[in-house]
Amino acid sequence: MNKTSKEIAVKILKANNYKLTKQRQSLLNILAIHEDRYMELTELDQLMRQEYPKMSYNTIYRNIKEFSEIGIVEENQNENDGKTEVKLDCNERHTHHHHFICNNCGKVRELQMCPLSFFSEQLPGAEITGHHFELYGLCADCKQLMGEK
């Protein structure tokens, strides 16, 4: 039986000695519901405040940072407005990967290949210390819908 991303996230939290508080459980629930897309931190904040009205933005942000550090969520800077977005993105192997993000519906698709070797071949003698790579466009469903208009 395949584990859900939320189950894997809980396992990773516990393995890193984090308590599974009610707030963290709620945060994971929200992220799991929206697992197929990135969420802006402000949207996540609004949804969390529906359940925990007195919870501070700093508490949510700190938990997201911790989740990111242990490999439960990925953070992304939205290319259009620069706002930080997050997505539940964990697997037991936690392999390096990149994404295709639909500009219309926001769905995210994992890419299996990393293009870093292509660029490192063009930079002989250089030391690349990091990279961030994503593709943007229209997913097949949105492209089909827009073609039908």
- The annotated binding site is made up of 96, 102, 105, 131, 139, 142
Distance CA 131, CA 134 (A): 10
Task: Give the CA radius of gyration of the chain.
Answer: 17
Binding site listing for Fe cation: 96, 131
Q: Tokens 């550090």 sit at which residue? A: 69
Binding site listing for Zn(2+): 102, 105, 139, 142
Residue 129 backbone class (left: φ over 0; alpha: ψ -120 to 50; beta: rest): alpha
